[in-house]
Amino acid sequence: MSSNIEPLELHPDRLFSSDPTVVAIARKLYESIKDLPIISPHGHTDPRWFNENENFGNATELFIKPDHYVFRMLYSQGIPMTDLGVPEHGLQGDMARSKAAEPEKVWQIFADNYHLYAGTPSGYWLDAVFSDVFGFTEKLCAENAQHYYQKITAALATPEFTPHALMDRFNIELIATTEGALDQLPHHRAIAGSAMAKRVITTFRPDDVIDASREDFIDNVAKLGEITDQDTTTWQGYLAAIQIRRDYFRVEGRATATDHGHPTALTADLTTAECEALFEKCRTGNSSEQEQELFRGQMLTELAGMSIKDGLVMQIHPGAHRNHNQAVFDQFGRDKGCDIPSQTVKRSILG
């Protein structure tokens, strides 16, 4: 029986141009900066990692279960997400554990289908991690899946693979996590005063209290009022509450930026009376899709004004149609890989 295992060989210029002149310049530029510290101003790492500094559990928990870029490829080919260990929306405790897939089996499914990642950004990244971090010399496939799983899982249990050790290993000077406006930032607060506080900061992402198309928007606005002691049934009270949360993120989480995942880059400049009327419609669940988009546009303008005053840098990444698969959303909740690019960003910017 012949083996299907291929060597894992990474060309040092694999991400550069194939043009000899261009690649020579690219290589020279890369060599001049490759050893500099990493400053990551936008990311979605879990702040709990850096507070508790506990080892990661196993290969599946690290590479598959939390990464919708990885598991969305698999379910696009008909593999149920329940088979990949993705927790169903609303399941907790014993019920969630009883439906959890065995990590070794999930990894085998991943390896059986690893060819699907060829030529994708995820594939480039995974191959680099497997080679450079874990020292594999053979490409992941069905035959060596369990060898991969055991070696990675064993390595993750060592002191060299704690979050703090990995921060040092990869020369990460600073990493910014991203939290919603209602987050109380317990882990950022817990590391305050430690050396890690200068390396791990939060980012204020207020989509949960700004996007009126969300199913939890009305409840979130009410919670916003509760935690800020502001009357968020009024336009001015709502704006004041958002500013209070921005200040909280700056002080308690050392935030230097905000993060906005709006469908488009539309902005608006409505009168105060128009803002009050529009907010009332959104707050009470009586807004149309067009009015929800207008509200997001007005809020970009309001948030830009706040940034001028408090200095938080705005990060806007429009053009994504999020959670487009209603069946997946209903069963598994938000942010499960059902995001697709949208052309509306071009129309909103260029007219």
Specify the range with the lowest mean pLDDT, choosing from 30-44, 318-332, 335-349: 335-349
**Amino acid occupying residue 236:** Q
The model's pLDDT over 54-74, given as tens digits with 9 standing for 90+, comes to 999 999 999 988 787 787 888
Please, what is the end-to-end C-alpha distance for the chain in angstroms? 61
Dist CA 295 CA 267 (whole Å): 9
Sheet of 38-40, strand order: 38-40, 172-176, 200-201
- Position with higher pLDDT, 317 vs 36: 36
- 39-44+175-318 CATH pick, 4.10.520.10, 3.20.20.140, 3.40.50.2000, 3.40.50.2020: 3.20.20.140
Give the bridge partners for 313, in sequence order. 257
The model's pLDDT over 10-59, given as tens digits with 9 standing for 90+, comes to 999 999 999 999 999 999 999 999 999 999 999 889 999 999 999 999 99
Q: Using an 8 Å Cβ cutoff, are 218 and 283 in contact?
A: yes
Dist CA 306 CA 113 (whole Å): 47
Specify the range with the lowest mean pLDDT, choosing from 54-58, 227-231, 323-327: 323-327
As its CATH architecture, domain 55-161 has: Orthogonal Bundle (1.10)
Dist CA 151 CA 136 (whole Å): 9
Span 236-262, average pLDDT: 97
Query: Is the model's pLDDT at 96 over the cut of 50?
Result: no
Domain ranges of the chain: 39-44+175-318, 55-161
Q: Using an 8 Å Cβ cutoff, are 209 and 221 in contact?
A: yes
Q: What is the pLDDT of residue 336?
A: 46
Q: Cα dihedral sign for 168, 169, 175, 177?
A: negative
**Amino acid occupying residue 32:** S
Q: What is the pLDDT of residue 335?
A: 52
Query: Is the model's pLDDT at 196 over the cut of 90?
Result: yes
**Could you tell me the two tokens for 236?**
């001015």
Dist CA 122 CA 128 (whole Å): 10
pLDDT band at 349 (very low <50, low <70, confident <90, very high): very low
pLDDT band at 218 (very low <50, low <70, confident <90, very high): very high
Q: What is the pLDDT of residue 67?
A: 80
- Beta strand 172-176 with 204-205: parallel, antiparallel or unpaired? unpaired
CB-CB neighbours of 212 under 10 Å: 24
Query: Is the model's pLDDT at 78 over the cut of 90?
Result: no
Query: Is the model's pLDDT at 222 over the cut of 50?
Result: yes
Query: Is the model's pLDDT at 330 over the cut of 90?
Result: no
User: Virtual CA dihedral for 96, 97, 98, 103, nearest 10 degrees?
Assistant: 120
Residue written as token pair 């487009």: 324
**19-26 contacts, C-beta under 8 A, 24 or more apart:** none
- Name, in order, each residue with C-beta under 8 angstroms of 142's C-beta and a sequence gap of 6 or more: 4, 108, 111, 112
Q: For residue 204, what is the DSSP state?
A: E
Q: What is the pLDDT of residue 1?
A: 40
pLDDT band at 317 (very low <50, low <70, confident <90, very high): confident
pLDDT band at 310 (very low <50, low <70, confident <90, very high): very high
Percent of the chain with pLDDT over 90: 75
* Distance of alpha carbon 146 from the chain centroid: 28
**Amino acid occupying residue 100:** A
